[in-house]
Amino acid sequence: MTSRSVTIRNQLGMHARAAARFVHTASAFASQVWVTRGEKVMDGKSILGILLLAAGQGALLTISADGLDERAAVEALAALVDSGFGEMSCNG
Amino acid sequence: MQRLSGIGVSPGIAIGRAVLLRQHPLVVRFPVKAGRVDDEVARLERARRLSEEQLREIRAHVARGARELEHLFDAQILMLQDPMLLSRAIEVVRREHVNAEWALQRAFELLSEIFDEIADPYLRERRGDIADVVGRLRMNLGYGRAAGRDLFRDVEDGSLLVADELTPSMAAQVDWTKFGGFASDTGSRTYHTAILARSLHVPAIVGLSEASAQVRPGSLVVIDGSAGELLIEPTDEEIEGVRARAERWARAQRSREQYRSMPAVTLDGVAISIQANVELPDDLLVAQEYGADGVGLYRSEFLLATIPPDALNEDVQFEAYRSMVERMAPAPVAVRTFDVDEEQLASWPRGLEWETTASAARSRGPLGLRAIRLSLARRDMFRTQLRAVLRAARHGRVRLIFPFVSGIEELREAKVVLKEAADELAGRGEPVPQVPVGVMLEIPSAAVTTDLFAREVDFLSIGTNDLIQYSLAVDRTDARVSRLYEPLHPAVLRTLRLIVHAAARHGTPVSLCGEMASDPVLLPLLVGLGLREFSMSPSAIPVAKQVIRQVRADTMARVARAVLRMATVAEIERFLLASLGDAAPQPSDDGPPPEPQPAKGAP
């Protein structure tokens, strides 16, 4: 099993769009994925589970994966969280 | 007759027969024999399949202008597949031997309880999305005829929809050509469905508490979206009064429509140019219909929402720009070069997500490698875009805007690349037209050095959304500080004055694009500050023209001078509203009715 700790950076936290991206990404891997926040452990491929972590900005999460591609899965998901879910500016 | 009061969210008056939609029937629990358990599970699976098909179809056909709804349906599709919802309901069926509806309700209640404990109000509201999904599943558990467009196929035209709740996914499936209005028990002004109603010009009332329980299907009702009132089975006399009011409202509406084709000229004869902000080529139709004087801002990065970066070669871009330029000719089109960051370029093929990310995160974001910074770091990509723009300029009037410029060096560097692109075209033996070049003033460092830019560009464009948030250091998507995002902040107004003065000294034209221009209260003040050219979302154009035609530029210049001496937003706002009250001509009987001014921020 591979694990990594990450901090939620984007302002809105793990809202619906961010959670959807997380689940999309997690589902691309064969490994089982869990996300832990405090005592709550949720299935990383469940959008409801991710939403229920209620992870706002600054929340500390642990992403774990178990399976053949566990390392790639954890890296991809951690990168997604670190990037603030790509919520970049694009404006006029 | 009965009269119910709610919140009018979309103005207008409609009279018609009620069609009832109830998504929240009483759910009964009944035992299922052991041999029938698999049948109940199969019903749940079937409902999941039908719901997913419907949601995919809805997502693909979401009404234009409601594109932000797409990500919502993306999340709903994931919820359908989520182990915490349907898998749990299936468990309940197998364990307790109960009907599918009850099991689904149990799974929903368990989830709701956890959601209700969430402190973050935004995340807590996601419970509404689950309710929407569960409502759809429940509907699809019904027998055959179930959901979707079929639901209202046999409805008489001009019917009025009365619902306990009209969720976004249901609203997107309703054939609005058949309905003259809607009323619902729940909802608020900012509810997605309310926004949809306004964009469709359908009268609507929400927050009626128990309308769906009081109205009998087929009975005559009146939806007065202007007054926020629902009349149930009115008397003949009352209907007559309503008809007269509806008539007056329609007349006033027609007079508003007339403004579309009228020039935007103030009472003292100052001509104002009102142009359109365009994201997708189809926005042009709306811009033309609403009488835009040109495209003041074409957000070219929206090409990436439908075409992957690899495929977005010179010819593809050229075709996109050319068709827009030709359709708009002889009016000009200002093409803003890509305002994206690296991730948005890399995130293909998740095109849908790119788009929602881009629009939702429009005013946020780290101050990183984006816009002109990214273009300058990726010269090939930049030159390709510039060649395509230059080629399109042979087919009409094109202007070029560089976004997110922070200093004069970036402008000079961008012009060097533009020269390279022109040379490449010339090297191919193609004619190279001259294209006016401008920058977006949206970073405070650029705004305060407007005079330096004014010497080296052909025109300037103010992007108020970013300019305000970077001037005030406020993330307006952060609910805890968003009230500090204030277009009337003295710093914002002084920055605008500084820009206008510096541009005027050098004789450089300056236009303003951003939401500030489409606010009927702020627009006259902007005219008073000396701005004469605006670009806004196409749908805001008729109202903007109406506003311009009702004010005097010289009066507004005096108002602006007074406002620039004031210290607080509250003071400025009070003064502005009071002076607009005096300045606006009184409407005649045939003219527009006294509209409640959208007094933003005022109690």
pLDDT tens for chain A, 92 residues long, are 999 999 998 877 887 778 888 998 999 999 999 999 988 899 999 988 898 888 888 899 999 999 999 999 999 999 999 988 866 433 33
Dist. CA B66–CA B9, nearest whole Å: 16
pLDDT tens digits for B297-341? 999 987 876 676 777 889 989 999 998 999 898 999 999 999 988
From residue B342, give the alpha-carbon distance in Å to each of B4, B245, B377, B414.
Answer: 53, 55, 10, 18
Residue of A16, A48, A86 lying closest to B82 (CB–CB): A48
pLDDT tens digits for B65-107? 455 567 778 888 999 988 889 999 999 999 999 889 889 988 9
In a domain, A68, yes or no: yes
pLDDT of B226: 82
Residue A19: list chain B partners with CB under 8 A: 75
Nearest to B459 by CA among B371, B397, B542: B397
Q: Return the CATH number at A67.
A: 3.30.1340.10
Question: Was domain B470-603 assigned CATH 3.20.20.60?
Answer: yes
pTM: 0.54
Dist. CA B132–CA B118, nearest whole Å: 19
B55, B133, B364, B478: best mutation site toward chain A, by most A Cβ within 10 Å? B364
**Max intra-chain CA distance, chain A:** 45
Provide the β-strand partners of residue B17: B220
**CATH tag, B273-435:** 3.20.20.60
From the list B192, B201, B501, B506, the catalytic residue is B192
If phi over 0 gives left and psi between -120 and 50 gives alpha, with beta otherwise, what is residue B144? left
In a domain, A91, yes or no: no
Q: Is B501 annotated as catalytic?
A: no
Q: Which two tokens stand for residue B348?
A: 């293909």
Backbone torsions φ then ψ of B396, nearest 5 degrees: 165, -160
Dist. CA A46–CA A72, nearest whole Å: 19
Residue pairs spanning A and B at CB distance below 8 A? 135
Mean pLDDT of chain B: 83
pLDDT of B52: 92
More confident residue, B344 or B333: B333
pLDDT of B504: 97
Residue B135 banded pLDDT, cuts 50, 70, 90:
confident
pLDDT of B144: 43
Inter-chain contact B84–A89, Cβ cutoff 8 Å? Answer: no
Backbone torsions φ then ψ of B515, nearest 5 degrees: -65, -25
Q: Which domain holds residue A17?
A: 2-85
Q: What percent of chain B has pLDDT over 90?
A: 44
Q: What is the ipTM of this complex?
A: 0.76
Nearest to B389 by CA among B381, B380, B379, B399: B399
Amino acid residing at B417: V
In a domain, A92, yes or no: no
- Minimum CA–CA partner of B121 in chain A: A54
Residue B138 banded pLDDT, cuts 50, 70, 90:
confident
Q: Is B24 annotated as catalytic?
A: no
| B314 neighbors B353 (Cβ within 8 angstroms) | no
Dist. CA B47–CA B136, nearest whole Å: 8
pLDDT of B251: 77
- Minimum CA–CA partner of A53 in chain B: B118
Dist. CA B484–CA B487, nearest whole Å: 9
Q: Tell me: pLDDT of B587 over 60.
A: no
- Tell me the average pLDDT across B544-550: 89
Q: Tell me: pLDDT of B603 over 70.
A: no
- Tell me the average pLDDT across B191-217: 78
Inter-chain contact A52–B118, Cβ cutoff 8 Å? Answer: yes
Q: Tell me: pLDDT of B393 over 80.
A: yes
How many domains are there within chain A? 1
Q: Answer whether the bond into residue B330 is a cis peptide, omega within 30°.
A: yes
Which of B76-90, B334-348, B454-468, B584-598 shows the highest mean pLDDT? B454-468
Residue-range domain boundaries for chain B: 1-236, 273-435, 470-603
pLDDT of B362: 42
Q: Tell me: pLDDT of B342 over 90.
A: no
- Tell me the average pLDDT across B350-355: 36
Distance from CA of B124 to the nearest CA of A (A): 8
CATH T-level topology, domain B1-236: Enzyme I; Chain A, domain 2 (1.10.274)
Dist. CA A4–CA A8, nearest whole Å: 13
Q: Cα-Cα-Cα-Cα dihedral of B397, B402, B408, B413, to 10°?
A: -90
Residue A51: list chain B partners with CB under 8 A: 115, 123, 126
| B218 neighbors B18 (Cβ within 8 angstroms) | yes
More confident residue, B360 or B231: B231
Residue A46: list chain B partners with CB under 8 A: 82-84
